[in-house]
Structure 1
Amino acid sequence: MTYEMKDSIVVPAAPDEVYALLSDVTRTGEWSQQCLRCEWEDEQRGVGARFTGFNHTPERTWQTTSEVIVATPGEHFAWSVGPGRAEWGYRLRPTAAGGTELTEYTRTTSYFEEVFAERYGDRAEEEIALRQQAARTGIPATLAAIREVLAGR
């Protein structure tokens, strides 16, 4: 039961400014619906850099390890959670009015399904559906929060 989803919004900043904000994962807690904060593993940045996400919902608290898989300034920033279980990222496209069309996306892998089957057994599909629903509501809320951060610069 893998899934993919995405949503887009126009934000009031140029792509390079948006990229600078989003690629600083230490600021993720300012807009994320579940991630309270992220910490870089070391001084490395760009593709191959790793970070830990500290996450919370009313039902649970957990940590993830992620690896940056795309780091194209002004265009695309993405990371693999697990790594290898899910991909999250942002694509940026300039608009005629000087802003940026910002798209957030996620997709899960067959490895994600395997991990959930091992961890949750008969409840794996239910747990995956919960994650999918969280992404479905979280992506638009996160995009709106990013727009607010950028508007408040």
Structure 2
Amino acid sequence: MTKSILDSRPLFELGAEIRVAATAEEIYSTVSDMKRHAEWSTELRDGEWISGEPGAVGSVFRGENFRADDVVAWAPLIRGVWHTSSEVVATEPGRAFRWKIHSKTGEPQELVWSFEIEPEDDGCRLTQTFRMGWASPGIHEITKNMDEGDKRKFIADWTEKMKRDVAATLERIKSVVEKA
């Protein structure tokens, strides 16, 4: 029997980096402010802190997202407005900010977004990564009626979409930070 793509660990692991003409502190202050993510995210439109101190480890942010009909159009994705809950899992001012997405039932998933900041000569390198260690309940729901070929196609198409999103996010953050 062939192993399913959904059994791969990690299922997703991708990222990109960009050079930003700003200090590590300026970049960290921007990317650690979850309310501001709507300024550069391809899906997040708004949100609010629902527990804890904003930006602190353990705090939870409820995001309002939007996905257009043309995003991986052939797959049965959530379209229009949908919500996520994200728990801050690491804060290293001037260096790193990470959060983990919770499932619909509120359980933390092995689905982590992060920003890493590395000072360089006249600015910093900003890296954003996305890692999903095991297939989330959402991925299982999306692919439940797919054969293995379509599951592989979905994972490949979603990976390409995420790579484009991360690159676009970094370009937008660079623009926001360098204008400040």
1:121 is matched with 144
2:48 is matched with 39
| Structure 1 residue 120, shift from structure 2 partner | 3.9
Counterpart secondary structure, 1:65: strand
List, as ranges, runs of 4+ consecutive aligned residues in structure 1 with deviation greater than 2 Å: 122-134
| Structure 1 residue 115, shift from structure 2 partner | 4.0
1:91 is matched with 116
The structure where helix makes up a greater share of residues is 1
| Structure 1 residue 57, shift from structure 2 partner | 1.8
**TM-score normalized by the length of structure 2:** 0.77
Q: Could you list the runs of 5+ residues in structure 1 that have no partner in the other structure?
A: none
1:90-146 CA-partner distances (Å, limit 9, x unpaired): 00000111x11000000112151x442245412382554443232110011100000
Instruction: Count the aligned residue pairs.
Output: 151
Q: Does 1:106 align with 2:148?
A: no
Q: Does 1:148 align with 2:175?
A: yes
Q: Does 1:48 align with 2:58?
A: yes
Question: Any residues of structure 2 matched to 1:53-64 within 5 Å, and which?
Answer: 53-59=63-69, 60=79, 61-64=81-84
Structure with the greater alpha carbon radius of gyration: 2
Question: Any residues of structure 2 matched to 1:71-90 within 5 Å, and which?
Answer: 71-82=91-102, 83-90=108-115
1:41-86 CA-partner distances (Å, limit 9, x unpaired): 1352311010011111212121111100111100000000122141
Counterpart secondary structure, 2:84: strand
Is the 8 Å Cα contact of residues 35 and 56 (structure 1) preserved in structure 2? yes
Q: Could you list the runs of 5+ residues in structure 2 that have no partner in the other structure?
A: 1-5, 70-78, 103-107
For residue 51 of structure 1, what is the amino acid of its counterpart?
F
Is the 8 Å Cα contact of residues 52 and 60 (structure 2) preserved in structure 1? no
**TM-score normalized by the length of structure 1:** 0.89
